[in-house]
Structure 1
Amino acid sequence: MLRTIRSRLALSFTLLIAGLLVVMLALTGWLAYRMLSDLRPRIQNAFEETQTLNEKNVLLNSAGYLGERLFPPLFSLNISGINREIEQIRGWLPIQSFVVADSERRILTDGSKRNPRYGQIVAIPSELLPQQPILQSRPDGSELYFTIGNGGQIAGYAAVRISGVALQTSLTMLDQEVTKLWTSYARSLMLGVGLASLLVALVTSLLIWRLARLASEPISEMIAAAEGIALGNLDIALPVRSDDEVGHLALALNTMTQELKVSQRRMRHLANYDTLTGLPNRHLFQDRLRHATQAADRNGTRLGLLFLDLDGFKSVNDSLGHGLGDEVLKLAARRLRETVRSSDTVARLGGDEFTVIAEGVKDPEDVEALAIKLLAALELPYRVQEHDLTLSASIGITLYPEDARSPEDLLRNADDAMYQAKREGKNAYRLFGPELGTSIAQRLSLEQMLREAITQHEFELHYQPQLDAANGDLIAVETLLRWRNPQELIQPSDFIPLLEDMGLITRLTEWIFGESCNRLTKWRADGLTGLRLAVNLSARQLAQPNLLTTLEEILQATQLPPDALEIEISEQTLLHAEQNKKTLDLDRLHRLGVRLAIDDFGSGDSSLAHLHRFAVDTLKIDQSLISEIATDRNSANLTAAAIALSRQLGTQTVAKGVERMEQWHTMRAQGCDLVQGYLISTPLQADSFLSWAHDHVATGHEPERFGQSREPANASSSNDQK
């Protein structure tokens, strides 16, 4: 027991100082624990919000790009193309599932080969609009819904489930780092307690204050940085003051920020630039066109918009493959960039379509000069993979502000002018004008009328006879499509090419065959035994996958022998069938027994090899050779050579467009088998043709009886569209 005051005071002061020290250390430790306990969820929440917000922004910004990228294969129902796009997307997004549906929300593909959910209805949010994707959070990730379309045209939908594993992994790593930090701090605190017991209260207090400051300052900086990242500020760089856990955590946050910046730049580039050519895509083009029109308004200048489409590019893809086609597109894009000024914008809208924004234009002649340069550059040979290819381009030009005020109208005008250049022969440019807008409006009106005509069954078939050139016997009849329009008489040359361009001609194929074969069956039963039927088909109709099956079913239903039916195709269609083996299996057609005729022979690039390779039965000599055969020696020599060649190959010949008696005499003298034209008869309705045929049989077959009185008033109309 201490008896002296000094001892008791010493003991009291010692206990007091020790007590104060313990209380201060305990209070400091408790405050530090509370602070770190509060900081951990704040750091985790800030980090999670940052990751979630950036991921959401990236996904929403990517949806429009993905929708436009998936549009071409979805629009053409190219499932394999869609699957390839999905596989590429999986390379840079953590995707759990990717489902593409059509406009009816039926699943087309989920990116797999088995595609087990094909045809199922996918639950797409009803409020989904073009260019307005929807992102929904889930416990295990998130779901992104967006439309697949081009502008306002929606071809389908996509539902993407994004995995949340990356976010959870990052949060786990962050929690581990914070835990390591707390463990290290606890050790330092215990060491401080041991040392502080040996020092005076002042030194201990200063040491604790210093330690608290050293521990809290870097963490406060990290919290401020995390909150800044959550607000979208990625230009934050934390100072790394040490090589301990706090320094490692600051370094990790700096690395994460840099990776987010790189990812953001990459996604921004993918959203604005074409991955194949490196040119601005449709999204960036529309933005630059908007800025260019605004700049033209401020400066009082003009701008020209050029819309380019490569002529014949589809045949390159079909015959040589898409890989070589991509190389051609790269070369074309490079030539466009090298031809225009540095201030002009070259963009790729998709496929083989490009646009050029020419700013600061003084006169329309400036834009025309640029178009001439572009045509010359694109016309140069393309050396790709040991292939020398020659392509051209069609260009449509519109001017701002004369032709339109809005970017959408400017693009539509340039597109219309480009198609006009294609219709006028390609490898040319065309300026948009009021008359072009009028013709386009008329075309749109005619397109609507054609759709209604198919629904209202306004089409009918006419028939034109083919006679034996030697004795005038009725051998065959050709089926010709006519439009019974109640408002006006529309010529076949006006509506049949439009049916082809719109793809509507394929909806009439089965009806044409069924109607004409039924007629032939009745005519044969009514005494016209042995009569043969010729039907014209286009490249689109020949490409129908069920064509041969349809022919077999119709022949079986009508009990017609296959050789009673003859299919007429043009030389260009035959060439396309040779280049693209998927267009039509002509060998199967020949094995079926149906005859094959080449129409308009001599009007294009005639290839003698086609006649042998495809087992052609009939050669129809074009009217351009027949019209001057009696007066032009070259025409007569050409027809004579064609007839002699066909005889060597065992092929029958038909003189098409015979309008005068001397033409018939000349063709008969040269050995032509059949003749057809207005001299014999105009195309007739079914009942009128039957009456004509009976009258023809009853009055005799001599060619001389037709005479000049049967010659048409307008001989040029005898070359009917089929």
Structure 2
Amino acid sequence: MPTGPIRVILARLLFKTRHIRPKRYTVKTRENNRDCETDVMVDEKDESPRGGGEVVHHPTVRWPMLAASGTAAGIVLLDESYRILWANERFGVLSGWPLDDVVGYAGKELVYRQALKPSWFTTELRAGAWQHVQLGDGEAESVRGVLMAETHLASRRDEAAILWTFVDLRDEAPHRFHASLDGMVSIWVFEDRLQHALARAARRDRQVGLLLFRLDDREALGERFAGTCLEGLQQQVGRRLVQTLDVEDSLTRLGQDHWGVLVEQPVSPEDLQMVALSCQEAMEAPFRTASTAPLLTLSVGIAVYPQDGDTSELLIKSAETALSRAPPASHAFFDPSLEAILAQRLALREFVQGALLQPALHFRIVYQPRLDLHDSRCRDVEAQLRLRHPEWGELLPSDFLPVVAEMGQAAWLDQWAIERVAAQRAAWQDMGSELATLGVSLDVDATTLDQAVAGRRPLDVMLRRLSMDLSWLCLELEERAFIAQAAEHTHLFRRLTALGVRLAVSHAGQEPVDIMRLAGLPASRVTFGSRVAAAIRRDDIAAARGLEALARCLETLQLEGVVTGVTSEAQWQVAGCLAAGLAQGDGLCEPLEAEALAAWLAARA
């Protein structure tokens, strides 16, 4: 593909011919989607050249342009008013217009900017740079995406003044040319990926994120730095974005000071916010110029499919609207309510991070009794974590444990909780309390089993250091995590069983129970999530029969069943079909601290 200087030389060599005298011919234009014809006076062929040079004015003159006619690029010569004087055969193929009809036509009516065109994206063609345009007559079926370069030629007023070069994006060579050195994709590829991403998301019921970045203080930067220097700074911004984003994300440059990012992986508003913050943090280091080290910032507008737009056009407009609301060096969502929610979640994350440094001051452990479904006696308690927040009150595990897991601290918090429960158990035993006869269950994260995550200290080693009988302890793991970890941690499970620790499957029933895999797990108990209890009604015979069939499967596998989330007498009665099982829920007893639990148990005696 010819570069800028080469295009100028090519034009000077290809367009030498004789001067021409005035002659009337018709110029074709389009107004209000209608073709119009205007008579224009041009020159006719003159055998006496002027000024020692040979130029071209009339499109019908025989051109000594074999190189231009045979090139793979579309070549067009225009006058100062952008009227087409000549075009090669390749341009005719790209535009779909016969060459005889193209000559004399207003060139700008054949060239359109790409469909991905927010309001801040200039519609004017820029000289001296490859641009993404659509070539055709404006009809959807005939428009073709191409790369275009415009070169202004040194000429007199009445000579050919402008050279257009077009390259088909579907050709192999242009693809190699357009592979950005900064690792970005072209606008055409970006738009194609966006449309395909939305189609996939619609089939899989997923979300897709679109982020638009804007360079802040663009006008001030333009006054401070020359065009070449400013372009170099924007290329540095692009490189930093490429280095920050994941390889699965698509990045493109939109206009002089805007970039677009497509995040197609399963995303949430929190994920998109983290992408925006990471990209903004990447701009914090000074940039490099020949004389100064300026600091640049980005504003970000975020839109989420499908709630902010179910088509690429609507999603782009939503992201553009969000960007218009974003303050400098900040970000904004199209849906303002998300900003408040995410601000609260970010505040929670910061609070949890501080709480993990001093867990004894912020976390506490409560115990919820589990009653025998046949004689209503308390045989077991579940230890649960609570987090005390100065403004929001006491937070439940579902509020903060996902944040702890995102921070990679779930295993550490689980080990801290086990040590606290063991200390409380030892205190009950020293007091001769009846609570020392109860089993204690604790729901732990799957990462607690991973030695590399849990401070390079295997779980069984940590438990041995407690120096106590552990037959009272039952560790519960979520069903899918337990199944996934079974093969990898077979030896660890055996060591835990040798210590007397029981293992249980927790939160079963959220999905169909896999009886075959359940039979292969080293578990002695299955805990059903609150969804199972919520589905139970007094008159729901089908639910009772289903639970009874499941109870027989558990009995065959010698597994004890626990129904959690029981809030009514009807749920208690239906859950009673379990041959050997327990029930737990706020309808039976709310979670209590150790002293209150002792008083509750004494009152039931």
TM-score normalized by the length of structure 2 = 0.49
Higher helix share: 1
Higher strand share: 2
